[in-house]
Chains A and B, each alone.
Chain A
């Protein structure tokens, strides 16, 4: 019970830190916190938070995510980050599975017209997933917190 509380606090901390530090609009390109939909064995009170950031030198995209129910329900969490060129060729991707926390990065894989996609999966096979792509949304991204 105590560990579950600590994990929930850790997720809340990740979200709050990104917000209160001013990282939202200036440094973290996308971030969010979600409740899982309660599918399968995942209760609705499970909370996940993630952030996706971009460095310019060297050009790097990184994703980090944490969830509050990884250990309690033995559901792995996976992060996936992809970089595509304008014609849809997959330049680079990274994919990492964790329990309460996972992160990965791709580097040196962008040029004009490229776009990215990131996803966070819960469960293997996936029970729930959320993510974002800026394909078709030039000048926009996925800065969001919900539920």
Chain B
């Protein structure tokens, strides 16, 4: 008869303890959040990006994108880039966790607004899925405080979602790609 080894038994017990701890938590959560256990049916579009007006003039070929100081949001709701040619994003991450002043590492995603990398998951409020393969651009992670110069390949005209892989539930802006680059820009 095959006997279960002591390490295997220990792992099994640890697993059971973890599951029990995870599922058997105290019953007194915040009332609002406990009530949330019942999903509300609501049809939502896949993208939650803000609507933006057309660019006032030829967009610059160098964009400055940054998180708000100390906050998990972009500084602006709308950004503009030229269509049909590569452009540059200077992405600044200044987001630290208050506790321990721990820096974050953030990755910029650009995906089509009609097929966003970050999409709401059905009708469940707050739930989303992220499929980085849908992104037309994924930057390298930027650790706070830091700025990266990101080279974005040419995009066709249209509305894109600008998001952060590590903040999918909070950070979203719209990138309007249109027109041609401002003369004199790299």
Contact = CB atoms under 8 A, between A and B. Distances in A.
Interface in B17-39: 18-30, 32-39
Contacts of A138: 32
B95 interface: yes
Contacts, number: 203
B126 interface: yes
B132 A127 contact: yes
Contact of A25 (B25, B30, B37, B124): B37
A39 B133 contact: yes
Contacts of A56: 26, 28-30
Given A90-B72, A93-B97, A143 B22 contact: no
Interface in A42-79: 51, 53-57, 62, 64
Contacts of A139: 32-33, 35-36
A89 B72 CA distance: 6
Nearest to B124: A144
Nearest to B26: A55
Interface residues of A, number: 65
B72 to A, nearest CB: 5
Contacts of B131: 37, 39, 128-129
With most chain B CB atoms within 10 A of its CB, the pick from A39, A89, A106 is: A89
B50 to A, nearest CB: 13
Interface string A78-110: 001010110111111100000001010010010
Interface residues of B, number: 55
Contacts of B169: 117, 119, 131-133, 135
A40 B18 contact: no
A2 interface: no
A90 B98 contact: yes
A73 to B, nearest CB: 16
Interface string A10-28: 1001100110010111111
A89 B170 contact: no
Interface stretch (B82-90, B150-158, B160-168, B173-181): B160-168
B99 to A, nearest CB: 4
Contacts of B133: 39-40, 127
Interface in A28-46: 28-32, 37, 39-40
A142 interface: yes
Contact of B23 (A27, A140, A143): A27
Given A17-B20, A146-B122, 9 more contacts: A88-B73, A89-B72, A90-B70, A91-B99, A93-B97, A128-B131, A131-B168, A141-B36, A142-B124
